[in-house]
Structures are given as C-alpha cells and as structure tokens.
Chain A
Amino acid sequence: MTATTLTPSVAPARRSTGWRGFGVLLATEARLWLRDPGTVFFALVFPTVLLVGVGFAIPGMRTPIEDAPPPWLGLTAVSLYVPVVLAAAIATPALTTMPVYFATFREKGLLRRLSTTPMRPQGIVVAHLVINLVAVVVSSAVALVVGELVFGLPAPRNAGTVALAFVLGVASMYALGTLVAARAPKASTASAIGTLIYFPLLFLSGLWTPGPIMPEAVAQIGRLTPLGAASQAMTAGWFEPGFPTVQVVVMAVWTAVLLPLGVRLFRWS
C-alpha cells in the first residue's frame, strides 16, 4: 500500500455541489426511521388505532345521529372523528417525532460532523422533512382506508377543500415543528416543548369534542391555531356547505410566519 491517495495538484480542483449522496442519505435515514418502533407506531399506525379505538370503545359511535340538525343528521359519530384523526396524523410526526430527531442530530454532534463533509447539514434536515411528509400521507391514507373498511365513511362533500385544508395543515404544523426544533439543544428539551404544544393543540382540534360537539368558545380559540384550523377546515370540506375561509387564512398566516422564523433560527451546531 503506497501513497495512492496523493494527487499532483495541491489545490483541490473538484468542487462539490453540497448535495452529492442525498439519495443515499435519504434512503439510509428512512431505513433508520423505520427501525425505531416508537416512531413507526406513533407516526404511521397511531391515527388508525385512534380512529378504530374510538369507533369501538365509545358506545353509540357507529349508530347514525338522530338528534342533530343537518348536515350532521344521519351521519355516524365516528365519521365526525375522521378530520380529527387526520389532524392527529399531521401533528404527531410534526411535533413529537421530527423535532426530537433534529435536536438529537444537534445534541450528538451529527450536524457539526456533516459540516466537515461535502454534504451540507441541511441535507439530513431535508431528508427528514421528506420522510415525515411521506409518513403523514401514508398514515392518513391507512386511517382512511381502514376507517372506510370498518365503519363505511361518507365521502367528502368537497374533496378539494379537504385536500387544501390538509396540505395547509401539514405546512403550518411542520413550520411549527421546525421552530420547536430550531433552537432546542437537546432531544429531551425538544420532546418536552413538542409535547407541551401537542396536547393542547389536539384538544383544540377536537380530539375530545369532535365537530359540532365542541363548545363554541373552544371552537373560537381552536380556529386561530394551526391544528384547530386544519381540523375545522377539513370538517367543513367534508360535511358542510361553504368554504372555511377564516381557517384557511389562519393556516396560511401561521405557515408564512413560522417557517421563515424556524429556518432563520435553526442552529446548525
């Protein structure tokens, strides 16, 4: 073994793009993500378990509602839960999985380590955004398919509105998750802050009081939060006539404010 690594020129002639190897990085991180049973359960399976659990555990969830005005009359109570479950499918990876991963990278020095390679530390953050976005889509799809098979869910009145609300919900909640992850020096800090936001937001999205059951005061507050707005907008698109303008604007504003803030404040070491 002689000095085969030596090249004649002193200055390195080749320049790296900073994204070489991103495919391998994404594939590796996805594999590692899938190796973590806790992550897989909460990010992929939890929404389905929640929907099926609520449908079977609470009495009367599967019988049609008889004492409510239209558009609720005749719907099963469990179907009112579908937008809430989708909101939970968005919030869980955005606030519990992703920020903890990012803070772990920072805590363990991985972001700094990547800074010494041609790969930018941004690469691993983007890889996890991609992984978690795919996770949200997959877990939502699984919940919808299983819910349809088990309970026979009604089709949305306006699928476009539901889709728009879902996309904006994802954008605003991931922006919030990025902000949580931006400064947290340790995984435990990110986990604590994420959880502290996660449960109130689930409450405001209607996990305990879905759809029309939510008290008006709670609904008023929830409307101003990203997850509450997402849940209400999806409920509106699914069951109600009209367009949830306020909720859509609320989510867009949250995204426009939180995302640049999270990116700007993100500590890379």
Chain B
Amino acid sequence: MTTAPPPTGGATATSATRSPGTTAAPEPVVEVRNLRKTYPGPKGSDARKVAVEDVSFTVAAGEIFGILGPNGAGKTTTVECLAGLREADGGTVRVLGVDPQADPAAVRDAVGVQLQEVALNERITVEEAMRLFASFYATPGDVEELLDLLDLAEHRRVAFAKLSGGQKQRLSIALALVGNPRVAILDELTTGLDPAARRATWELVERVRDRGVTILLVTHFMDEAERLCDRLVIIDRGRVVAQGTPAELVDSVDTSRTVRLRVPPADHDLALHTIAGLADVEHVEAPPTPGREIEVTGSRRVLPAVVLALAEHEVVPDDVRTVSRTLEDVFVAVTGRTYDPDATDARPTRGESR
C-alpha cells in the first residue's frame, strides 16, 4: 500500500483481488508508466496546459481497476492515451503488450471503449446499433446474449432518443462489449443516472467482469470506486496521489475510529463523564444540548470500550453509529483539500477565503 508517490516499478504486489488468474498470468493487461500529456495553451502563449503530469499503474487480468479523481484531474486523457485516441508526450503505455500509440489498430479489436457523452443517431434502434458495431469486429460477441446481459432485449426496437438515461448507458456498455474485448474502458459510467440505475449499472459491471473482461473504470464518484474496484489509483492534477485496494487506502489514512451515539437526555452528563475517562478515547465532541449525538474518536477499540463502559453505568444508548472512513477521507489526507468532484483545479482549503 502506498500513498504518494507511486512506485516506479511496474509490480504492485499488494493486490488482494477477488479474481482468479492474477497469480497465473503475471503479464499485466494494461501498463502505464510515467505517462505525460500536455495540450497547447491559450493562443499566443508558449505555455502548454498539462493534463497528465506523471501517471503510472498496472492492471492485471480480470480486475476491475479504478481511475478515480475530481473532474479535470487527467483521468479521461489517461484512458484516451490507452485507447490510442491521443498521443502521449512522454512515458510508455502498453495494452495487452502493444503500444497503442504506435499501433492503434492492434488494440482496437481487443479493447472496448465506452466514452463519456457519446450520442448515437437518435433514430437508430438498440438492435441496429448493436449489429452495426458488431460488424466492425473480426470476432464479435453474441448480440442476443449481450442484449440479455444488459437487460436491453425488450428495448431492442426502441430508438436511441427514446431510451432513458440508464438504458442509454447500458447500450453504451453493450457497444463497448460487442467486439468481444479483453479489456473494457468505461468512462464516467453512472454520471447523470438516478440512484437505482446506478446500482443496477454497478451490478452489470460485475457481471461483465465475471465473463473474464478486464475493466478500467474511470469515475469521479468515490462511492462507485469503493463499491466496484478491486484496486484503484487516485489521480489529482495529473498525478497519482494514492493507489491500492479500497480497504488498503482507507486503512492508510490513520488508525483512529469514530463513533457517534445518542443517549437519553437524563443520562447525558453521566455518559460524557464516563466516556471522557476511557483510555481508548482520544477526543470527545459533545453537543451543546443533551439528547443530541456525541462524537467519540479513539483507537480501534473505541466502539466496544464506549459501549461496555456505558453498560456498566446502566446507560443504554438510543443509537450508536460508527463513522466509516471512505475514499473521500483518503483524498483529503493525501491532497490536503476537500474533495470537490467538479472542481477542475481546486485550491488548498486553507488558501480559500470565506
């Protein structure tokens, strides 16, 4: 487990993926090393805008690998270089052992791409689009099977314009898979979807991985990365600031745990007094009025310690919640900024004026 900077060696041996095959096939499916990509700056100036400063990671076969970060961090540029859509200024990229910059045609057959905000002709039906894209590939997948897999079979004759956001997104995934790819790149899969559609889409991604497709998932949603990814990198301002499994990343922030509890108003003072004296407690945030939540931070053992101590004094909490660490906390810890997914260039929080 590492937080910044990323290891320069290709191997990230710490992965404890759920998928089989990672031990049998050590050859990475995707390998990115010190990738750098700049764009021309404003007209008249020689300064170039840096989209990707230095990004390295490797993806093993059968993984769902996440590229996480705020908008504008360089995620899409990174996968566009992988897909052979853009030429990198520096670093090396290998997809299935092939350099997509030098031989883009070689990767197109084996890599399925779902791009952000691509719209098809509004009159094309689901089935027409599938059969059209299938015809481009040497060994396409089974269209009927994919329509079933992505719950699109009953919408096969529906025109693109009449599909819901979730259905369009599912079609987009289906089109990325119709060439029977070994690697699928899914960019901002659930942006604009309602919560139910997002959860359904997540399940589909797992179904696709279970078919043996390695998945690169680009997202700015922390919860999505946490839920789906076997391993991930967090990219910020064109650099990898953390990488590992979601659990490793979360554990890396610090070892403290936080518990929130509510006790009956009559027991409020007794509870505060009891908790404050415990060895496992480092910090207590007491509410101004009794009956509100008390926040207790301490060691790993803070939860059992607090509950046991209260029980000894016959105080039964109305409600106890553990506050789990999330990838958002990881982002804050490694960048020193709050996570604002829409900030293209978030400034440090301390520099902000109120």
Contact = CB atoms under 8 A, between A and B. Distances in A.
Most buried by B among A18, A32, A110: A32
A11 B211 contact: no
A113 B98 contact: no
Nearest to A2: B212
B171 to A, nearest CB: 12
Given A108-B120, A110-B118, A3 B211 contact: yes
B119 A109 contact: yes
A2 B212 CA distance: 7
A109 B115 contact: yes
B16 to A, nearest CB: 20
Nearest to B118: A109
Nearest to A28: B132
* Chain B interface SS verdict (over half): loop
A264 interface: no
Interface stretch (A92-100, A116-124, A191-199): A116-124
Interface size class of A (residues with CB under 8 A): 35 or more
Interface residues of B, number: 45
A266 B253 CA distance: 50
A112 interface: yes
A5 B107 contact: no
Contact of A11 (B96, B115, B136, B141): B96
Interface in B159-190: 179-182
A240 B233 CA distance: 75
B259 to A, nearest CB: 43
B132 A24 contact: yes
Interface in A105-140: 108-110, 112-113, 115-119
A134 B132 CA distance: 21
Contact of B137 (A2, A15, A113, A117): A117
A3 B240 CA distance: 31
B213 A119 contact: no
Contacts of A110: 118-121
Interface stretch (B123-131, B192-200, B289-297, B329-337): B123-131
Given A3-B211, A28-B128, A12 B179 contact: no
A2 B211 CA distance: 5
B135 interface: yes
Given A10-B96, A18-B105, A1 B85 contact: no
Contacts of B124: 28, 32
Contact of B108 (A5, A23, A25, A118): A118
Contacts of B27: 10
B132 A116 contact: no
B211 A4 contact: yes
Contacts, number: 112
B50 interface: no
A36 interface: yes
Contacts of B105: 15-16, 18, 118
Nearest to B209: A3
B102 interface: no
A98 B210 CA distance: 43
B327 interface: no
Given A11-B106, A12-B109, A116-B108, A21 B136 contact: yes
Nearest to B116: A109
Interface in B73-89: 83-85
B118 A112 contact: yes
A31 B132 CA distance: 12
Contact of B121 (A3, A4, A32): A32
Most buried by B among A3, A18, A20, A23: A3
30 contacts: A2-B211, A2-B212, A5-B181, A5-B182, A5-B212, A6-B212, A7-B182, A10-B96, A10-B97, A12-B98, A12-B106, A14-B109, A15-B106, A16-B137, A20-B138, A21-B132, A21-B135, A32-B121, A32-B123, A32-B124, A35-B123, A36-B123, A108-B119, A110-B118, A110-B120, A112-B85, A112-B115, A117-B133, A118-B137, A269-B85
Interface of A: 1-7, 10-12, 14-16, 18, 20-21, 23-25, 28, 31-32, 35-36, 108-110, 112-113, 115-119, 269
